[in-house]
Amino acid sequence: MTVLHILAYASVAVFIVAVAVRAIRLATTPVHLRWELYPVAHEKDKVSYGGSYFEEKDWWTKSQKKSLFGELKVMVPEILLLKGVWEHNKPLWLWSFPMHFGLYLVIGFAALVLVTAFTGTQDGLGAVLEQIGLAVGLVGYVLGTVGALGLFGYRLFSRKTRGFTPPSAYLNILFLLALFATGLYMFAGVDHPSGALAAFGRDVFTLGAGAAPAGAVAAHLGVALLFMLYLPFTHMTHFFTKYFTYHSVRWNDEPNHPGSKLEAAIQRQLAYPVSWSAKHLRADGKKNWADIATDTEVE
């Protein structure tokens, strides 16, 4: 087993575990107070202007009309095209979009390489997929390199971000730049990059111990696997935590109906002991949240 094999197993394992831990940690935080922001995308009839069910007289007597399609209409352009950045920060979008879209294409390339690792590429579907993968990969690496270079410059020279960018943010971009640049180098220097990558992928998946690729392919694989190992410990986990920021906070308009599961969950939380120190709260670490909220004696 080569160093690259070990790195591949370690990266995948750490990535999955670290992402799962973070997702579980966020998903199991207590039910919070409502903090939505309009427009709420699943609001069926009023989303065009940001309205809510609170516009209805006796709103609690009417069933809430939710639209999954409405959420998709916001999320798909947001994820694929970075619509929010386009609307609110075009100079950033100029670089952020190619970097993100380039990354999506590179992930697509990796997925196609893995598929062809098992279908083969001699003829039929496998051959077609390999050609598509190569095209997607090449475009992805070019876009990504341009985007990462631009982002680095933007961070460094824009008055908006200069002084507000910590060292880790620069490292993140440099890491991405290395990922894309080594990919481009691989395409430039290796005749049949997807073949070598597919062979390695097949070997890893079948727990083989064959020889690892060398040269430009090995360099690219090494950077990509190290990036995978690094990513879950950075703010770049927004690729999945964005689900929570939108669905659990920004669009969370679920009312607390009497007798609901939501009410039961909150009831449990009202029993949490409180240890805030300010005098007016009269908390002692033993009184619970409900005790303090109902203690309205004024000194």
Partner 1 sequence: MTMADKVKVKDISKHPERQLTHIDPQDLMPLPPPYDKVDEEPKWKAIKQEQKDAVVSNLDDTIALGFPKPKTKEEEDELVRKFLSGLEKLLTRENNWTFLQPLLLSLEHCAKCQTCNDACPIYEASGHNDVYRPTYRSEVWRRIVAKYIKPGGKFFGAFKQGDIELNWTTVSRLMELSYRCTLCRRCAQTCPIGVDNGLITHELRKVFSQEMGIAAKEIHEKGSVQQLKVGSSTGMTPLVVKDNIEFIDEDMFDKTGIKIETPWDKEGADVLLIHNAGEILAWPENPGAFAVILEAAGISWTLSSDVVAYDGINYGLWYDDFQLARVAIKHAEAAKKLKVKKIVIGECGHAHKALTVIADRVLQGDLNVRRESAMTLLEDIVFSGKIKFDPSKNDFPVTLHDPCNMVRLMGIVEPQRRILRYLAPQFREMTPHGVDNYCCGGGSGFAIMSPFNFQDWRLSISGRKKLKQVLDAFADCPGPEIKKYLCAPCSNCKGQLRDLFQYYNVWEKSGILYGGLVELIVNAMVDVKEPFIEWEFH
State the DSSP code for 43. Answer: B
One-letter identity of residue 188:
A
Tell me, residue by residue from 253 to 282, as one string, x for binding to partner 1 by CB under 8 A and - for no binding.
x-xxxx---xx--xx-xx-xxxxxxxxxx-
- Measured distance CA(299)–CA(284) in Å, rounded: 17
Residue 68 within binding range of partner 1, rule CB under 8 A: no
Site residues for partner 1, window 223-242 (CB under 8 A)? 235, 237-238, 241-242
Q: Which of 24, 62, 77, 245 binds partner 1 (CB under 8 A)?
A: 245
Residue 176 host element (H or E) = helix 167-189
Q: Which of 40, 106, 178, 231 binds partner 1 (CB under 8 A)?
A: 40
- Measured distance CA(237)–CA(16) in Å, rounded: 12
Residue 200 beta carbon to partner 1: minimum distance, rounded to whole angstroms = 32
Residue 45 within binding range of partner 1, rule CB under 8 A: no
Site residues for partner 1, window 147-176 (CB under 8 A)? 159-161, 163-169
Here the tokens at position 2 are 């080569």
CB 93 within 8 A of CB 80: no
Q: Which of 33, 122, 157, 207 binds partner 1 (CB under 8 A)?
A: 33
Residue 248 within binding range of partner 1, rule CB under 8 A: yes
State the DSSP code for 246. Answer: I
Angle between helices 124-157 and 193-205 (to 10 degrees): 100
Please count the residues of this chain forming the interface with partner 1, following the rule CB under 8 A.
Answer: 85
